[in-house]
Amino acid sequence: MYLLLVGLNHETAPLAVRERVAFSPAGVTRALETLHANPLLHEVALLSTCNRTELYALLPTSDPAPLVAFLEATGHVPDLAEHLYRREGEEAARHLFRVASGVNSMILGEGQVLSQVRAAFQQANAAGTVGGRLSALFRHALSAGKRAREETGIARRAVSISSVAVQLARELFGDLKGHSALVLGAGETAELTLRLLSDAGVRSIAVTNRTYQHAVGLAESLGGRAVPFDALADEMTRANIVISSTAAPHTLIRREMALSVMRKRRGRPLFLIDIAVPRDIEPEVGDLENVFLYNIDDLKRVVGENLEGRAGEVAQVETLIEEEVARFRQAWRGLTLGPLLNALQEKMEAVRLLEMEKSARRLAGLSEGEREAVEALTKGMVRRMLKDPIAQLRSRADTSEATLYLDALRALFDLELPEMPTVADLLGEEAGEDVGLAPHSDECEASLLSPKGRRSLVEGRPSRPEEAP
């Protein structure tokens, strides 16, 4: 069996492509069911965040075509293949470990991704699409991520994209006291943003959501005001700052709505930050006069410094990852080589016993000592015949030839393997263990905006705090 990874992220694909293959939690479950229906995919898991979509699968060949085809069909992007990366075996494991450790993120050391890796594993487990091998992969990924945060400084001074959004508002308006804000969405990201705005002194905070009761609960918890979703345009007329973070599959604020809002605002600038994937705000809204619109990719350009202190921790994290890769290699070897060799030895022993039984009549006249000698002789012959093949298999267990040899052995001796260990067997108590993340961590983390980011935050759209009302 081959462990394969096919995916794309913020380094290989722009936001416009990433949002075409982004999956909601319910969408992940449906996708896993579709993928698992393919007989070529023995195990499969899907990791989908605001910055990446990755498929991890166990296949009988190293051909990633089924995974690539699924992503192409999902995204309807003709040239999607040029944005995809492919990893096999140990390299696929190393990639996931780097993701979980925060060194393969848009923001170095981001914390929420470890929770997202855990959620991806739990969803695949709930959907019944992972077995022993992918369970081992994710177990070691979670271990790598936890160790990186506990044993290094890679995640110190973590700041979320919500913090960047609030800081951008400060850069435009200065002191936020006396200003009003509108938050679209009632999830974790929206809640964190609302808390930060409240801490920054925003005098009036409104929360809206398609499910009004969700908006009410969030607003009341922080002293804000819930408004019906159909009053969105009116609230945009009043607010200076609009931060959108919903899970809507389509845009909620279009150019025509924003144009009408700006006419009523009579020239007062409107600051919009869209931190949703897919985007909540139509990109053309940003072309309107006195409208300042930023999305996740814009924030990527804002966060240039990325907490310099974290960079010095990368080497230590990479060392830790290699230790975890070695542990995973041993686990994978045990999951593939051990059961196969046990099955081979059991089959050879069964053959020996069968032949002894066939010869029972001819051996009937032997004494007890002679019978024991024959028993030892036949057992010794089996051990001697298996000694070299087993040694050769073990010597190749960590090479690219391993799968070829193991598949050949299975076919030549018609071996049936025992059931793989369950998820509970592999994880033990870790299955319910907390990863130690703050309850309001954001989906994508970013460092605070430095003073250098005040001008030209997005090319061609400099901040102009003097226009603040």
* Residue 42: Cβ within 10 Å count: 19
C-alpha–C-alpha distance, residues 129 and 5, integer Å: 15
Q: CB-based contacts of 363: which residues, under 8 Å, 6+ apart? A: 356, 371, 374
Q: Minimal CA–CA distance to 206: which of 228, 175, 189?
A: 228
Instruction: Check if 50 is active-site.
Output: yes
Could you write out the DSSP letters of every residue in 13-30? S-HHHHGGG---HHHHHH
Q: Minimal CA–CA distance to 246: which of 316, 330, 171, 184?
A: 184
Under 8 Å between Cβ of 122 and 346: no
Could you write out the DSSP letters of every residue in 175-210? S-TT-EEEEE--SHHHHHHHHHHHHTT-SEEEEE-S
C-alpha–C-alpha distance, residues 214 and 72, integer Å: 35
Q: What is the largest CA-CA distance in the chain?
A: 112
Secondary structure letter of residue 48 according to DSSP: E
Under 8 Å between Cβ of 203 and 179: yes
C-alpha–C-alpha distance, residues 393 and 266, integer Å: 77
Q: Cα angle vertex 62, ends 60, 68, to 5°?
A: 105
Give the helix/strand (H/E) hosting 5. strand 2-9
Q: What is the dihedral of CA 346, 352, 357, 363, to 10 degrees?
A: -150
Which residue in this structure is represented by tokens 């192409």? 72
* Catalytic pick among 21, 46, 50, 307: 50
Q: CB-based contacts of 315: which residues, under 8 Å, 6+ apart? A: none
Backbone angles phi, psi at 96, to 5 degrees: -65, -40
C-alpha–C-alpha distance, residues 461 and 240, integer Å: 17
Q: Which pair of structure tokens corresponds to residue 273? A: 């930050």
Give the helix/strand (H/E) hosting 132. helix 132-151
Q: Minimal CA–CA distance to 170: which of 224, 64, 119, 243?
A: 243
Backbone angles phi, psi at 175, to 5 degrees: -65, 130
Q: Which pair of structure tokens corresponds to residue 340? A: 């196969």
Under 8 Å between Cβ of 201 and 175: yes
Catalytic residues: 50
